[in-house]
């Protein structure tokens, strides 16, 4: 198989997603940068001016028709997909309590952070299975670690119950996907990028997007026989 891979990054119009796209493109891969708004094409144009091989794809991960259209377009244009980074996500309930969590926030958070990555992988994994190669990276968080949530105190001061539930569920999805796809040379892992200076992380976060993207990019380019069904931070396995 060619060293040049086809990669799809969701939520790649800014922040961590954009930097993951940049780093993968710098390695020589063709990167599809998706966003739910057409204005996201500006990010792809920016990377293209850096001499990087990127294209923009309009994709609202919460829209089933968009997911189906994305699958058809990728199949028609490239007839394969090698790397999928499920990066798009929301944090709507930073200081909420579970007992007072608005139902609308819970449903939107689970839809975006858990259900959409699951459905996107359902539809795109067959393109990987056909070529018996794939790397799937689910952007999770230590806030979704049951081990961390049970700690007193947890590592984050944010309560964020919907966010925590969605990432814990995404971790479970990662384990199940890894088991189902392991026979096709498809490696599936979850990663906490750390507290990164993005719109979600805020200006006080200690890590740059360049630092935050390092482990997701490493997982997206794992060699044959690499780990699968694991949870990583700083390129080291961490507890679920």
Q: Annotated catalytic sites, by residue?
A: 163, 167
* Cβ–Cβ under 8 Å, residues 57 and 8: yes
Instruction: Dig out the tokens for 46 from the structure.
Output: 């920016």
Cα of first residue to Cα of last residue in the chain, in angstroms, is: 33
| Tokens at 229, concatenated | 């069904």
Token pair in block for residue 167: 């990432």
With contact defined as beta carbons under 8 Å apart, do 191 and 139 qualify? yes
Cα gap 15→200, rounded to integer Å: 9
Q: Are the C-beta atoms of residues 33 and 13 closer than 8 Å to each other?
A: yes
Collapsing DSSP to helix, strand or coil, 190 comes out as: strand
- Quote the distance between the C-alpha of residue 240 and its chain's center: 17
DSSP 215: H
């Amino acid at each position: 198989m060619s060293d040049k891979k086809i990669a799809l990054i969701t939520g790649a119009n800014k922040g961590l997603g954009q930097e993951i796209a940049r780093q993968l493109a710098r390695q020589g891969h063709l990167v599809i940068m998706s966003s739910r708004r057409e204005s996201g094409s500006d990010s792809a144009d920016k990377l293209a001016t850096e001499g990087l091989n990127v294209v923009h794809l309009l994709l609202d991960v919460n829209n089933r028709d968009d997911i189906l259209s994305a699958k058809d377009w990728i199949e028609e244009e490239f007839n394969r997909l090698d790397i999928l980074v499920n990066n798009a996500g929301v944090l709507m309930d930073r200081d909420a309590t579970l007992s007072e969590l608005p139902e609308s926030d819970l449903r939107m958070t689970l839809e975006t952070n858990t259900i959409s990555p699951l459905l996107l992988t359902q539809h795109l994994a067959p393109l990987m299975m056909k070529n018996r190669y794939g790397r799937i990276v689910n952007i999770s968080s230590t806030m979704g670690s049951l081990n961390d949530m049970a700690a007193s105190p947890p590592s984050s001061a944010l309560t964020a119950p919907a966010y925590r539930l969605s990432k814990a569920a995404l971790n479970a999805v990662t384990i199940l996907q890894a088991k189902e796809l392991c026979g096709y040379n498809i490696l599936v892992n979850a990663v906490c990028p750390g507290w990164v200076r993005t719109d979600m992380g805020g200006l006080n976060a200690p890590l740059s997007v360049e630092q935050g993207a390092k482990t997701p990019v490493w997982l997206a380019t794992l060699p044959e026989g690499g780990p699968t069904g694991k949870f990583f931070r700083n390129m080291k396995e961490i507890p679920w």
